Amino acid sequence: MQRIPIKLAKAGMVLAKDAVTPEGQVLCGAGTSLSEELIARLKRQGVLVISVQGHPVRLPGEMVLSEKLKELDRRFSKVKDDPVLRALKHLIGEHLVIEEKGEEFLEKLKKGS
């Protein structure tokens, strides 16, 4: 799932969460496939940000998964002998993978598939 500005939305993307107005009114539900017409309607209703399935857009300054994992290694490099911090690093790494690829990918990775 990725939160993106409505101006970056494209037809064919699928909402991961309900699209709501700034006042909280639900305009369309999770699972809705976006069309150009629907995107224009959301913009007219004042929607600024939507959550879409997957990770279809690379935002300026955003790191890809491999860069995030490399940065995680760098940040934990001085405490690699501490078992608690090593476990924390592992959990953060799993979270990053799930966030990017989905939980199914992580399960496949663990099973060696």
pLDDT digits (tens, 9 = 90+) for 15-35: 999 999 989 999 999 999 999
Note the pLDDT of residue 100. Answer: 75
C-alpha 112/C-alpha 80 separation (Å) is: 25
Predicted confidence band of residue 64 (pLDDT cuts 50, 70, 90): confident
* Window from 3-7, 45-49, 76-80, 96-100 with minimum mean pLDDT: 96-100
3-state SS class at 61: coil
Structural domain spans, the chain: 2-52, 65-111
Q: In terms of DSSP H, where are the helices of the chain?
A: 36-44, 65-76, 83-101, 103-111
Q: In terms of residues, how long is the chain?
A: 113
pTM of the model: 0.61
φ, ψ (nearest 5 deg) of residue 28 = -160, 155
What fold does the segment set 2-52 form as a domain? Molybdopterin biosynthesis moea protein, domain 2 (3.90.105)
**Which candidate, 1, 32, 39, places its Cα nearest to that of 15?**
32
